[in-house]
Amino acid sequence: MNKKLLSTTLALSICAIAIAPIYKHLDINANTIKNVSATSELKQLESEKLLLKKQLLNAKDKVISTENDVKAAIAEDKTKTQTKANDNKTIENKTTDNKSSLNTKTSNTTTKTTLSKPKSKTSTNKTVSSSTKTSKSTTSKSTSSTTSSKTTATTNKSTTTNRGTTSTATSSKVSAIISTAKSFIGVPYVWGGTTASGFDCSGYIQYVLSKNGISVPRTAAEQYKVGTSVSKSNLRVGDLVFFTTYKEGPSHLGFYLGDGNFIHASSSKGVTISSLNSNYYSSRYIGAKRVIN
| Catalytic residue set | 201, 252, 264
Using CB atoms within 10 A of its CB, is residue 224 exposed (0-12), middle (13-18) or buried (19+)? Answer: buried
Question: Between β-strands 252-258 and 240-243, what pairing exists: parallel, antiparallel or unpaired?
Answer: antiparallel
Determine the Cα–Cα distance for residues 103 and 111; give it in Å rounded to an integer: 12
Q: How far apart, in whole angstroms, are the C-alpha atoms of residue 138 and residue 127?
A: 12
CA 40 from centre of chain: 60
Q: Where are the alpha helices (DSSP H) in the chain?
A: 2-115, 118-129, 133-182, 201-211, 220-223, 279-282
Distance of alpha carbon 269 from the chain centroid: 8
**Residues 6+ positions from 244 with CB-CB distance below 8 Å:** 250, 251, 252, 284, 286
